[in-house]
Chains A and B, each alone.
Chain A
């Protein structure tokens, strides 16, 4: 149980275009989802927290107009990178916490590698 998927696993897009990454909880209802960014050989940095049906809360320094997060259902959150630039190239990881889950429980997706050319 507690499986989180991400789609796509890899994506290449041209500079100036937008790309959407999906995060799904496959066997539980995720009331809270988290989006992280990981640069090569670096740690995970939390970008934003989203609760189902409400606006995402962004961490300091993260551009909310550039990284659009939608958590429209209890099993799906999406991250859209708008007007992507090469510096947005990174590994994006989501995690999810379920309804009635203990506060420390987060289940991670396998990540999405974004390359902007």
Chain B
């Protein structure tokens, strides 16, 4: 079974600064996806960014980028120019490719607070 570990339960950063959230995972699979989801106080899960394991290039989405280290099984999220609206729980998630039976395994989450 796959496991996803987020070692930072809480983090806080000043508005406009850069913050990096850590995630490690354990798997014997070679083909999989990794995700970062955001859960704001509304509790609605929002996809932030996705990385395919076969791609060496790190995914970026505007202010959000990842550092994907496949050999180290590490998948960190960097948020640049942080904004108040970035305050949320952030979950790292793993998905093994399984012929239509793909399921998400979530980490324990990091509560990020952006300080004005």
Residues from 21 to 51 in A contacting B, C-beta threshold 8 Å:
32, 34, 41-46, 49
| Closest Cβ–Cβ distance, residue B70 to chain A (whole Å) | 17
Q: Are B45 and A93 in contact (CB under 8 A)?
A: yes
Chain A interface residue count, Cβ-Cβ cutoff 8 angstroms: 18
Q: Which stretch (B13-21, B79-87, B104-112) binds chain A?
A: B104-112
Contact status of A49 and B103, CB under 8 A, knowing A93-B45, A108-B44, A110-B44: yes
Which A residues are CB-close (under 8 A) to B45?
44, 93, 95, 108
Which B residues are CB-close (under 8 A) to A34?
103-104
Q: Name which residue of chain A comes closest to B97, CB basis.
A: A103
Q: Are B33 and A49 in contact (CB under 8 A)?
A: no
* Count, A-B residue pairs, CB within 8 A: 44
| Closest Cβ–Cβ distance, residue A111 to chain B (whole Å) | 5
Residues from 31 to 78 in B contacting A, C-beta threshold 8 Å:
33, 35, 42-46, 50
The residue that A43 contacts in the complex, of B42, B43, B108, with Cβ under 8 A, is: B108
Interface of B is mostly: loop
Residues from 85 to 116 in B contacting A, C-beta threshold 8 Å:
91, 95, 97, 100-109, 111
Chain B: number of interface residues, binned into ranges? 20 to 34
Separation of A106 and B43 alpha carbons in the complex (Å): 16
Q: Name which residue of chain A comes closest to B33, CB basis.
A: A104
Q: Are A43 and B91 in contact (CB under 8 A)?
A: yes
Separation of A32 and B102 alpha carbons in the complex (Å): 10
| Closest Cβ–Cβ distance, residue B14 to chain A (whole Å) | 24
| Closest Cβ–Cβ distance, residue B42 to chain A (whole Å) | 7
> A91: CB under 8 A from chain B?
yes
Which A residues are CB-close (under 8 A) to B103?
34, 46, 49
Interface centre among A34, A45, A46, A106 (most CB of B within 10 A): A106
Interface of A toward B, CB cutoff 8 Å:
32, 34, 41-46, 49, 91, 93, 95, 103-104, 106, 108, 110-111
Further 19 A-B residue pairs, CB within 8 A, beyond A34-B104, A45-B106, A95-B45: A43-B106, A43-B107, A44-B45, A44-B106, A46-B104, A46-B105, A49-B101, A49-B103, A91-B43, A93-B45, A103-B33, A103-B95, A103-B97, A103-B102, A106-B104, A108-B46, A110-B43, A110-B44, A111-B43
